[in-house]
Amino acid sequence: MISAKENRRLTDVTRGAAAGFVLRSYWQPAALTEELTPECPIVPVTLLGEELVLFRTEDGGYGLLGRHCPHRGADLCFARRENGGLRCTFHGWLFDAEGRCLEQPAEPADSRFHEKLKHKAYPCQARNGIVFAYLGDGDPPPLPEHDCLEAPDSHTFAFKGLWECNWLQALEVGIDPAHASFLHRFFEDENPEDSYGKQFRSGAAGTEVPLTKILREYDRPKISTEDTDYGFRLVTTREIGDDTVHYRITNLVFPNAIAIPMSDEMTITQWHVPIDNRNCYWYSIFTSFGEAVDRELMRAQRLQEHTLPEYRPLKNKSNNYGFDLDEQRRKTYTGMGMDINVHDQWAVESLGPIQDRTQEHLGQSDIGIKRYRRLLKKAIEAESTEGLPFRPATGRRLNMRGPVAIDVLGSASDGECWKRQDLTRRKHTGWAKDPWQEDRWQKELPGAD
């Protein structure tokens, strides 16, 4: 339980607000690359409460400008793409991707008024299906070397979905490992061969036991957290027999992402990105440590659940998330179908547009949520980008590799079995870097802190 004032401080991401400063100090997903096509090269983007326009430049890059023209406020989503920038269709002012005003054709020919103008502009870079933007002050940090960003394009698939609630409650469901035994409970296990592209269906690495069975039958996990250079790791264990433990390794990637296992071969890195204080998008990169992903199939699966262009889930509050009482009795815990994204969406939206945390009662199983809020408070109190935790550009050497996200069945006395299992699959990829080697390098390097 926290005070109303503290709740506002942690959830408000508008420009000038404390949490808004923190989120702006890291690269944030602004759009999927698939949203910008030759037929649609300019799209509106609302990010952290700011109305923006994202466009492809003629040289294949991206520009992100304030949506409203600084002359009289016309909508630049209807601009013409010219000279690597946008020309407003109201009076023809031309802006480049850095926000410089290059031309004001209706002004006197010798006017230098345009030189005094600087329109809002943010740097962007695209990686593995997502256009990332940096809305912070100063130079952006480098993109971290996380698996989802290092993997070849062929081994990743990116998608997004709209949730109508504040970003913090959306993130907090991802660092709450206990909920999976209830919210995502299936009363029957699926044939793992039908599980491609679905979460919680295939077994833990090195076993045939379906994860749905483990989650269903062992609902009182032990959860611990460990500090890392990118945030923290959650180690969730379920004792499922004589000396057999299910280890589930998930991660909080500061400030607003999680990295979790999806199947034996795949992981999901998911950012919870504020549109404004009452709406957010989850952006996910699915990363395969095995074969190249079947992107067509994965996209088709998700388009069965979402409508474009908003990526709004078909099941939502307006239709009770497809709730079916008979299904709840016989098939799933929620009665809201087999897609776990819908379960999570119901859970986080049902807390209200901005959860009232003055009324909650956190238990021991909420250790991840408590830890995250302490981190966010620490970051808010840092007040400058130099003082922020987990930001490579601050000069501190940070191990931003991995993170390891995996499900493994192993011995109770072998608490590191998941590291070995992860290293084995990493070696087979040819591209995945060894996060532990980097860790050793960092510790051994003189001057590293």
Instruction: Return the one option of Fe ion, ligand FES, none that residue 278 interacts with (CB less than 5 to 8 A, by type).
Output: none
- Both tokens of 101, joined, read 């005003």
User: What residue type is 244 in one-letter code?
Assistant: T
Q: What does the angle CA 416 – CA 367 – CA 358 come to, to the nearest 5 degrees?
A: 165
Q: Taking a C-beta distance cutoff of 8 angstroms, is the pair 53, 42 a contact?
A: yes
Site for Fe ion in 328-357 (CB under 5 A): 344
**Which listed option, ligand FES, Fe ion, none, makes contact with residue 9 (CB within 5 to 8 Å by class)?**
none
| Nearest one of 397, 400, 418 to 409, comparing CA atoms | 418
Shortest Å distance, C-beta 111 to ligand FES = 14
Q: Which is nearer to ligand FES, 72 or 317 (CB)?
A: 72
Smaller CB distance to Fe ion: residue 176 or 422?
A: 176
- AA identity, residue 416: E
Give the shortest CB-113-to-ligand FES separation in angstroms.
12
**Judged by CB, which is closer to Fe ion: 333, or 436?**
333
Q: Which range, of 70-78, 203-211, 219-227, 378-386, touches ligand FES by CB under 6 A?
A: 70-78
Is residue 230 within the footprint of ligand FES (CB under 6 A)? Answer: no
Cβ 382 to Fe ion shortest distance, Å: 30
Q: Which is nearer to ligand FES, 93 or 232 (CB)?
A: 93
Considering only 27-35, 65-73, 285-293, 410-418, which stretch makes contact with ligand FES by CB under 6 A?
65-73
Q: Does 91 bind ligand FES (CB under 6 A)?
A: yes
Judge residue 276's burial from the number of C-beta atoms within 10 Å of its C-beta, 0-12 exposed, 13-18 middle, 19 or more buried.
middle
Query: Which of positions 151-180 make contact with ligand FES (CB under 6 A)?
Result: none
Near ligand FES by CB under 6 A: residue from 71, 81, 278, 396: 71
Joined tokens for residue 76: 């630049």
Query: Of 94 and 215, which CB lies nearer to ligand FES in the complex structure?
Result: 94
Q: 71 is in the binding site of which of Fe ion, ligand FES, none (Cβ under 5 to 8 A by kind)?
A: ligand FES
Count residues near ligand FES (CB under 6 A): 8
Both tokens of residue 352? 């209200």
Q: Is 80 in the site for ligand FES (CB under 6 A)?
A: no
| Binding footprint of ligand FES on the chain (CB under 6 A) | 69, 71-72, 74, 88, 90-91, 93
